[in-house]
Amino acid sequence: MCVVFAFSGRAQITTTGVIPQPVDAKYGAGTYVFFEYSVGVGDGISTDNLIFFKSYFRSLTGRDLKIGTSALPLYDIRLLLDAKGIRESEGYQLAATNKGITIKAHDEAGVFYGLQSLLQLLKIKNGKATVPFCTITDYPRFAYRGMHLDVSRHFFKPEAIKKWIDLLALYKVNTFHWHLTDDQGWRIEIKKYPLLQSISAYRDETIIGHKKDSPHRFDGIRYGGYYTQDEVKDIVKYATQRHITVIPEIEMPGHALAALAAYPQLGCTGGPYKTATYWGIFDDVYCAGNDETFTFLQNVMDEVLPLFPSKYIHIGGDECPKTKWKTCPKCQQRIKDEHLKDEKELQSYFIGRMEKYLNSKGRQIIGWDEILEGGLTPGATVMSWTGEEGGIAAAKQHHDAIMTPEKYVYLDYYQSLSPAEPLAGGGYTPLSKVYNYEPITTELSGEEAKYIKGVQANAWSEYMANPAEAERQLFPRMLALAEVAWSSKENKSYPDFLKRLRYQQPLLKKLNINAADVFDEITDSVTETTDHQVALSLQTTLPGSKIHYTNNGSTPGLNSNVYTGAITVTSSGVVKAAVFNNGKQQGRVYEKSFTIHKGIGKTVTLKNQPQGGFNPGNTFSLVNGVFGSKLYNDGQWYGFAGNDLEAVVDLGSVQNISKLGINILKYHWQKMWEPTLLTFEVSTDGSNYTEVYRQTDFPDNGINAVRASIKTQQARYIRVKATNKGIIPPGEYIPGAKAWLMVDEIVVQ
């Protein structure tokens, strides 16, 4: 996707095919044609840098590259180190002229990344390998550019891991965070503890469908696997040759059920325990009062460390319920003996003790942001996932942090709102949201910002049962993250990124990547018009295309309405739309249902404000005619953690009403609870209300659509009250946590 504009006799390129976007790229009006199919390697450069390049070059051209040991003009490609001329670590300069291609770099990593850019520019023309004339100067914004992959919920064989490492390397991602242990499976061979292989690496069966479904269903099939130490060594070597550091994660003190199933003496109750068969958080964790726990984990680390030369070792630290610690005599004795305040400080003690051990072995720890609980241990790096707050807090304390907030960079979330989208973890993280994430928040000063060392995308594998499903979730969003991590924020442009991403499509296909084709789908926004009606705006990022739509529920075609501006929706029904380019439909058909009622666009007042990721930022979504979906990821649902709902709709004038409604979302396995009491009240003056309906039973797991028929009467104000469950009771998922009360669309008819 190279677009050339001529200015004053000079050819300039505004768009290239390189991802991530280079610091500077200039193109000329010509191409270099390979004649020798050769590479000359300068002093100090390892031929390991050429392993991936040679492999792909052969697959694309059918030709083997000849390797020489000096960077002379007789070679097509010349590789040189120039640390003085190129000052930035991992930086490089790539120049392609009619005399050949030269890559100069600060270090060997820079040589490697210059070659990756060259790979992306390589084309075949008339049977010859060609590269456009160009001069590229490039270096990364962040030193840490990562991708996390969970292999505990679903196990991926070494060949799949290697395939994805190739993709990370191609797009200049330099860290692979390998999540090896969790409740649902232990995935690394530890020779001192053979039961980790025979018991912990396997579960009896696996949940079918989504965790939120009730009752849970299971497939009845034993599932598991693990990586031998030889396989781990091979993968780490493979990654190292591609300038990727592999960081292992051994979870502690929570997410330990698989390990406890094999060694129950490490838990607070002594078991018996079973490797988890469904997704979630479990109360049974490592006993912090038992010295044998620390002996076990230290012995595990003694076998893990020789396999991974990484500076950092990830020890988890997230989602550790303190329930069993509160009643465990050993844990309570530890709190007393160590003069700790509570169980949060006990977690800090646990993390600190393991950190000291790893420090004694010359390593440093990374942990999820819960390691901040009870005080951050010295030298720890925080991986901020629950939001950005953990990373901000760490940076303000002058601790290193990696930004990886769930809301922006979790690749197991849905990437499209299409009803045809495959099952995913929850939430909605489209390509644009990943791309537009900015890791340096405005809360940090310039000095504090230096402690944000990088950014990482996370992929949890609950709903990725095989490599093809995983690839669809990872790519192309991982490419967007690569640009966030490498390119300066001033140098980023989402429309330009999409052009370069389209340019990359043949390359991804050549590498047999099952990337999701979702970035040309229709997106929308529902807003309020000046006269309090509903307006639907549609967008597509595909240049030169048109959107055709219908508002009667029929499938759109070339003869359907052409979208030219926001559509005012005045009646109930379904709007469908599709993108057409050169007379052909692109992507899936979009659809949106509307229910128009007397409350549309009316003023809504809330006593308590919605929270977290369930806060649309206004009250219009409660009266916009669009019902929230069962996936609760479309920005329609309002969530109240531990708080009640009290909403008043002002119809603007006294009117006859005969039906009232609201949607309630009930998923106990997502901490979403129905209210203990729901009431509707009406008033003509806004002061004196009369109750007209109440409900206490909400039987459906999912959306409970409350539609209350009442005696026709006059009212201007409608008051809706819903009493939150409060604290989740014992025996339920995450007992003791605040229940979420989830509501949407107050219907007035």
> Bigger pLDDT: 124 or 474?
474
Reported as a single tens digit per residue, the pLDDT across 391-440 is 999 999 999 999 999 999 999 999 999 888 999 998 999 999 999 999 99
- 368 pLDDT band, cuts 50/70/90, is very high
Say whether pLDDT at 168 is over 80.
yes
Catalytic one among 154, 255, 314, 597? Answer: 255
What confidence score (pLDDT) does residue 16 get?
64
Helix axes 494-510, 108-121, angle to 10 degrees: 90
Say whether pLDDT at 1 is over 70.
no
Percent of the chain past pLDDT 90, that is, above it, reads 90
Reported as a single tens digit per residue, the pLDDT across 441-467 is 999 999 999 999 999 999 999 999 999
Reported as a single tens digit per residue, the pLDDT across 278-320 is 999 999 999 999 999 999 999 999 999 999 999 999 999 999 9
Reported as a single tens digit per residue, the pLDDT across 663-682 is 999 999 999 999 999 999 99
Contact indicator for 386, 333 with CB cutoff of 8 Å: no
- 173 pLDDT band, cuts 50/70/90, is very high
Say whether pLDDT at 5 is over 70.
no
Once rounded to an integer, what is the mean pLDDT over residues 4-9?
Answer: 27
Is 182 assigned a catalytic role? yes
Distance CA 204, CA 277 (A): 7
Is 255 assigned a catalytic role? yes
What confidence score (pLDDT) does residue 171 get?
98
How many other CB atoms are found less than 10 A from the CB of residue 358?
Answer: 19
Say whether pLDDT at 519 is over 90.
no
What confidence score (pLDDT) does residue 721 get?
98
Q: Which amino acid appears at position 521 of this protein? A: E
**In the chain, helix, strand, coil percent, each to 5?**
25, 30, 45
Reported as a single tens digit per residue, the pLDDT across 371-394 is 888 777 778 899 999 999 999 999
- 259 pLDDT band, cuts 50/70/90, is very high
Say whether pLDDT at 482 is over 60.
yes
What confidence score (pLDDT) does residue 520 get?
82
Say whether pLDDT at 9 is over 90.
no
Structure tokens belonging to residue 693: 């309906």
Q: Tell me what the pLDDT averaged over the chain comes to.
A: 94
Percent of the chain past pLDDT 70, that is, above it, reads 98
DSSP 436-489: T--SS-TTS-HHHHTTEEEEEEEE--TT--SHHHHHHHHTTHHHHHHHHHHS-G
> Bigger pLDDT: 687 or 5?
687
Once rounded to an integer, what is the mean pLDDT over residues 638-665?
Answer: 98
Distance CA 248, CA 178 (A): 5
What's the full length of the chain, in residues?
A: 749
Catalytic one among 319, 355, 448, 591? Answer: 319
Distance CA 261, CA 272 (A): 7
Say whether pLDDT at 635 is over 60.
yes
Catalytic one among 76, 150, 182, 634? Answer: 182
Say whether pLDDT at 10 is over 50.
no
What confidence score (pLDDT) does residue 420 get?
87
The β-bridge partners of 402 are 383, 454
